[in-house]
Amino acid sequence: MELREQVAISDLTTMRLGGAARFVAEVHTSEDVAEAYRFACEQNLPLAVLGGGSNVVGRDEGFNGVVALNKLSGLQIVDETDDTIVIEAASGELLDGLAAFAARRGYTGLEATSAIPGTVGGAVMQNAGAYGQELSDVLTAVKAYDTQSGEFVVFKRDELELSYRHSIFNSSAKARYFITAATVALRRGEIEGELYGSLQAYLDAQGISDRRPMTIRAAVSAIRANKLPDPAEIASSGSFFKNITVREDQIEEYRERFPGIPIFLIGACWEIASGWLIEQAGLKGALLHGMRVSDKAALILINESALSYADLACARKEITQAVQEKFGLTLEQEPEEL
């Protein structure tokens, strides 16, 4: 385990905000994970887990504790037949790397999550998804370190309470577990059913008719590259607001009140596209307290000149108030805070 003191959270997160973490422990093995928690306990300090930092925002006061920086690595084929594959991915691996690993072998289930920044561990915690696919569609098991018992445990999928951007790891069991690995089961073939609107539109515009995993991966990667800032070059947390979930019996009412409102089914949830709400509220491209609402995708906030979390909080408040006043709907922030 590598240990550093007084490390700026702004250097560890893609929004590039936040004060200093008292300690940062880089963990490369399961043994490192347990050691990091023992160290935090000995110091009587809290511990927070951080992966790629693409879905975490640092606060101005910093973190008076231990940040465990997840560097666990490895992709392993657990089982493979002519039609299916089971892959175990270490939680520090990039989700995009796992998606590429599967798509290159001709397996469908994760190709639409291509180019999502962040690690497998973060994707499990948030039940990450895009363009009609979610991790919950293919996730079968999760390995984790239980900080209360000091033991490594295994969760089956049905124990994880998975729903839109939700799992036990960011709700009922938040901060209790360090996710160390995830197992996914995929099938050989092509993505089925009606495609997400913008994905289908891109394929149509390019004259592409096949749905092979590598074709969909390339299309999704191109769409994201056009709409989303590269966090290595531009300070952003990607999608800053969650889509708004609604009951099926509410859909007709919303469509009557707000013609053109995009409502779509993801998994078992009906969702309203929050980016559309922000755009209709007149904020697409707006600069608020140093935070730019992207002129390509209004769901994205870009840190152009904000110097503090306080600046971000002011921008967030103005955006949520504008949407609330126009639609009566409440936006919810997607990134976690540290």
pLDDT digit string, tens, across residues 193-243? 889 888 999 999 999 999 999 999 999 999 999 988 888 889 999 899 999
From residue 127, give the alpha-carbon distance in Å to each of 95, 139, 209, 298: 11, 9, 29, 22
10 vs 269, more confident: 10
Among the listed residues 275, 319, 273, the one whose alpha carbon sits nearest the alpha carbon of residue 297: 275
Any bridge partners for residue 2, and if so which?
26
Q: What is the pTM of this model?
A: 0.91
Q: Which pLDDT score, from 0 to 100, does residue 303 have?
A: 97
pLDDT digit string, tens, across residues 62-100? 999 999 999 999 999 999 999 999 999 999 999 999 999
Residue 30 region by backbone torsions, left for phi larger than 0, else alpha for psi between -120 and 50, else beta: alpha
Any bridge partners for residue 186, and if so which?
85
Q: Which pLDDT score, from 0 to 100, does residue 227 have?
A: 86
Q: Which pLDDT score, from 0 to 100, does residue 229 have?
A: 86
Any bridge partners for residue 151, and if so which?
146
Whether residue 185 is predicted with pLDDT greater than 80 in this model: the reply is: yes
Are the C-beta atoms of 108 and 186 separated by less than 8 Å?
yes
Q: Considering the chain, what percentage of its residues have pLDDT values greater than 90?
A: 92
Average pLDDT over residues 131-147: 96
Candidate CATH numbers 3.20.20.330, 3.20.20.140, 3.90.78.10, 3.30.1330.60; the one for domain 236-337: 3.90.78.10
CATH 3.40.50.170 fits 2-70, yes or no: no
Active site residues: 165, 239, 334
Q: What are phi and psi of 159, to 5 degrees?
A: -95, 0
Domain ranges of the chain: 2-70, 75-188, 236-337
d(CA 179, CA 175): 10
Average pLDDT over residues 282-286: 97
CATH 3.30.465.10 fits 75-188, yes or no: yes
Q: What are phi and psi of 140, to 5 degrees?
A: -120, -30
Tokens of 58: 């640092």
Tokens of 11: 């250097």
pLDDT band at 26 (very low <50, low <70, confident <90, very high): very high
Q: Which pLDDT score, from 0 to 100, does residue 301 have?
A: 97
Average pLDDT over residues 260-271: 86
Q: What are phi and psi of 277, to 5 degrees?
A: -60, -45
Q: Which pLDDT score, from 0 to 100, does residue 114 have?
A: 97
Q: Which pLDDT score, from 0 to 100, does residue 89 have?
A: 98
Average pLDDT over residues 1-13: 96
pLDDT digit string, tens, across residues 297-337? 999 999 999 999 999 999 999 999 999 999 999 999 999 99
H helical segments located in the chain: 30-42, 95-104, 120-126, 197-206, 213-227, 251-257, 274-280, 309-327
Any bridge partners for residue 4, and if so which?
24
Q: Which pLDDT score, from 0 to 100, does residue 141 have?
A: 98
Are the C-beta atoms of 306 and 290 separated by less than 8 Å?
yes
**Which residues have CB under 8 Å from 322's CB, separation 6+?**
278, 281, 282, 283
Torsion from C-alpha of 113, 119, 120, 121, nearest 10 degrees: -140
Q: Which pLDDT score, from 0 to 100, does residue 269 have?
A: 84
Average pLDDT over residues 256-279: 91
Q: Considering the chain, what percentage of its residues have pLDDT values greater than 70?
A: 100
Q: Which pLDDT score, from 0 to 100, does residue 268 have?
A: 76
How far does CA 85 lie from the centroid of its chain? 24
Q: Which pLDDT score, from 0 to 100, does residue 232 have?
A: 80
Whether residue 188 is predicted with pLDDT greater than 80 in this model: the reply is: yes
